[in-house]
Every structure is written in C-alpha cells, then in structure tokens.
C-alpha cells in the first residue's frame, strides 16, 4: 500500500516539475523614451512639448527656475496621447527660464531633460 502511495506521489511530483509553456510576449516594461518635440517662447508664455513612450502609468514633474530664483515645482503631468504639453503663462519678457522634466517621485538629481528658454522682449 505504501509503495502505491509513494508511486502516486512521485508521479504527481514529476508532472508538476515538467516544463510549462513559456510566455510568447515579454513581461518586461518597455524602456522609457523621452524626446523634446518643441520649445517656443513668446512675450507672455513658454510652451514645451515632450514625446514619451514606455510610460506605463507614470506621472511626470516639471520644475522651473529663472535667474533669481531656486528650482521650484511647476506642475505634475500625465502624458496625453504620448505627449507632455506644458504652457507657462507666468513668465516675464526679457528673462530666461530653465525647465527640468523628471518622473514624479524619482531621486532629486534624476532628470530626463533640461531646457533653457529666453522670453523675448
């Protein structure tokens, strides 16, 4: 009786150890790609657009700095149709502004892009 029980358990264990079908699609996250599409400055606004892929639900943060201020949080964005579009209407003609893009919650010095824009007079 014990040998039959042992044989049955051995068969169950053997069938459980047989190879399973491997997934045909990768389960790894798509690499994140960020490309600045445009940066346009007018007297009363700055417009920035980044193309992003491999987002997987991530939010992005934009920081802003002018010559006399430290870096400050500007806004959080979720991409729409693969784009992050930023419009800054709080600019002053004749000043330069720098913008940084990063994944929200990433380390303080981990930026995906940085751009400086001169607002015309």
How is the chain split into domains, by residue range? Answer: 33-118
102 membership: H or E segment, kind and range: strand 96-103
Cβ pair 73, 63 in contact under 8 A: yes
Question: Would you give the distance in Å from CA 23 to the centre of its chain?
Answer: 26
Three-class secondary structure of residue 108 per DSSP: coil
**Residue whose token pair is 């600019």:** 91
Residue pLDDT, tens place only, 69-117: 899 999 999 999 999 999 999 999 999 999 999 999 888 788 999 999 9
Q: Are strands 113-118 and 96-103 parallel, antiparallel or unpaired?
A: antiparallel
As a CATH number, domain 33-118 is 2.60.40.10
What's the token pair of residue 7? 């044989």
Which residues have a Cβ under 8 Å from the Cβ of 70 and sit 6 or more positions away? Answer: none
Residue pLDDT, tens place only, 13-35: 555 555 566 667 767 767 889 99
């Amino acid at each position: 009786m014990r040998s039959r029980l042992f044989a049955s358990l051995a068969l169950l264990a053997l069938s459980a150890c047989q190879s399973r079908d491997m997934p045909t699609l990768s389960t790894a996250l798509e690499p994140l790609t960020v490309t600045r599409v445009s940066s346009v400055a007018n007297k009363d606004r700055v417009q920035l657009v980044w193309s992003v892929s491999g987002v997987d639900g991530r939010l992005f943060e934009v920081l802003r700095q002018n010559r006399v201020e430290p870096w400050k949080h500007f806004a959080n964005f979720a991409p729409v149709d693969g784009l992050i579009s930023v419009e800054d209407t709080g600019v002053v003609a004749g000043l330069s502004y720098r913008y940084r893009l990063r994944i929200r919650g990433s380390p303080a010095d981990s930026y995906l892009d940085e751009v400086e824009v001169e607002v015309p007079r």
